Amino acid sequence: MEKIKEILRSHRLNKYEIEQIAESIGKNAEKIHTLLLWAQEEDPFAWHAWWVCDHLAKGDHMLFCEHYGAIIRQLLESHHDGKQRLMLNVLMNTQSSDPISIPLLNFCLDNMLSPKKSTAVQASCIKMAYKLCQKEPELLPELKVILENADPDFFTPATKGVTTKVLKAIGKAQRGK
pLDDT at 43: 82
68-79 average pLDDT score = 95
pLDDT at 3: 86
Q: How many CA atoms lie within 13 A of 69 on its CB side?
A: 4
| Burial group, residue 172, by CB count within 10 angstroms (0-12, 13-18, 19+) | exposed
pLDDT at position 76 over 80: yes
pLDDT at 177: 58
Rg, Å, the chain Cα set: 17
Q: How many CA atoms lie within 13 A of 47 on its CB side?
A: 14
pLDDT at position 11 over 80: no
pTM (2 d.p.): 0.91
| Amino acid symbol at 149 | N
pLDDT at 151: 84
- What residues does each domain of the chain span? 1-96, 99-177
pLDDT at position 81 over 80: yes
Higher pLDDT, 4 or 75: 75
